[in-house]
Structure 1
Amino acid sequence: MREVKLFIVGLGNVGGGLVKLMKSLEKEIERKYSTKLKVVGAVDIEGSAFSKEGLDLDEILKTKNKGSIKNYPKFGSAKNALEQIEENWKNFDVLVEVSTTNLETAQPALDHIRNSLEKGKHVVTSNKGPIALHYDSLIKLAKKNGVILGFEACVAGVIPVIRILRGYLALDKVQGINAIVNGTCNFILGKMSEGISFEKALKEAQEKGYAEADPALDVTGMDSAAKLVILNNIVSSRQISLKDVKINGIENLSGDARNTKLIASLRNGDAKVQPEKVQEGSFFASVNGVLNAIEIETEIAGPLKFSGRGAGGRETAYAVLADILKIAAENRI
């Protein structure tokens, strides 16, 4: 039974969801992967907790529910993520970076990831900022240090599109991608198609936990654009950035929204995100609620279509967990 020691940065919807999944799936993970996952460190915006012997999952959730992980009995402190990485890098195997996304500077997640890769630590992240803004340099840094950078959770929730593009389709030529990669917008547009105003649809999305208190990244199309940049930089030798994407969000939409979807598309180097009317009865027309969907056109495999849950802490946490277990299964610990 191998042991994998995790240092989790971020205890919001995704980080908390990961801890809950690890707890509920513990026996299955041990049986199917011959692996025991141990959380040795955890960080939130106010502080951290670290123990080489491992933190109790129930106590992590209980402490965080009351406020900050810095109040974890005996092992809590005001140290931030970088301080803990510097002090305890020899005591964990995988950095799990699931903090809040910053699409302007990618910080502080970028420093957490770089620092860990440089120290020969595997990294798994759901944070789009570093991957969208610094994909090429981070991939090279991971390769240089002989470690894995897993970022399946950055795009399309539980749909394993990154694993498919980097693995199964690595030798095929991707000719185009069309995708619905923001579950929040898809939910809002679905409600608007029923005649509900954008404002009321957004409020409902927030009440259900599908939209953040500040929904700007979602409704302006920036979140979808960041995901499109990541997909492009996986499949194309021509690396692009956010400034190369033509972006139109849904925040100014009004009127008839039936069969309207926020589509992220990539073809011949042209990257764009915009609301589009889709044909009734088509693949994208059937993608409702917070589902995501991706259509990949390739030279050999032809058109491939995938759909699945794309919004929610539990779903994203599952993608994070899958990356962690992939590292363990490849005997990279």
Structure 2
Amino acid sequence: MGEVRVSEHGGGVALATIANPPHALMDEEIVIGLEALAERAESDPELTAVVITGAHPERFVAHYDVAELLDGSRRSPSVTPAVARASLGAVGTVRRVPGGREALARTPAAGLSAAERFGEILLRFNTCGAVLVAAVNGSAMGGGCELALACDFRLMAAGPHVIGQPEILLGFPPGGGGTQRLARMLGTSAALGICIDGGPLDPGSAAEIGLVDDVVAAEELLERALELAARLGSRPKAAIAAVKRAVHLGGSQPLPAGLRLERAEFMAALTSKPAERAMAAYVERLERTGELPCYDRDALQRALERGRFG
């Protein structure tokens, strides 16, 4: 039985370990665990960062359970892309009604419901105020790659591991955000190559094109990921959420719309109490020392360590 095990590591940092033996597949049970994690990341003010890793010694998340996808395909009617878009919207609405999820599980829409839910959870990762770090301890194909892409930062263990989007080899495109996040992260050409070829990338190649941020010795991976999570999670949570929304949502819009979204997030955060306190501390130090804190090496280093001025 699969589960997402969450343990606390102090300082507002949690470690979420995905365990689903024997193959480390993404399936409905893991999706349920990720949904609970997303809810906590959104609602718990004390949770500032989450490291996600796999329990399997050689796999982060292998890929989505193809047997589960096949069952969903057989239970769902054949549809065109236009009908699928409308159906996913309707399924999402029903699922949010009390009792709707249980009702959908007994209908041909069950497959559509699972697909819509997985993508929705990963989008919530992109807009919550917690920093998410993927500690990719092994191979991550398909849904495993998409989970890593939905995290804010990705560290991958060195070794004979692979990462990529092989869905095309099964006759369908990535469905958990792989095409969209790859295109935004790496550009159109790289996204097309990864998703149409379907072949895997080794850790070094993934780092070279920017799919992962760094390749780390396996024995150092968790320590490095937890350190990164603790450092970046020390920033104000509301400001982290504002940055993530502006980057993930605004960056995919035409420039004028993206700039409007960024300005809205800026104004909302600027008028918050945490921002007011940090700005007051900055001005107070400037008046006291005559030096801009951003150009005072010691003051800047302390702010970086604490996550804020003041």
Shorter-chain TM-score bucket reads: under 0.3
Relative to its length, the structure with more helix (as a share) is 2
Relative to its length, the structure with more strand (as a share) is 1
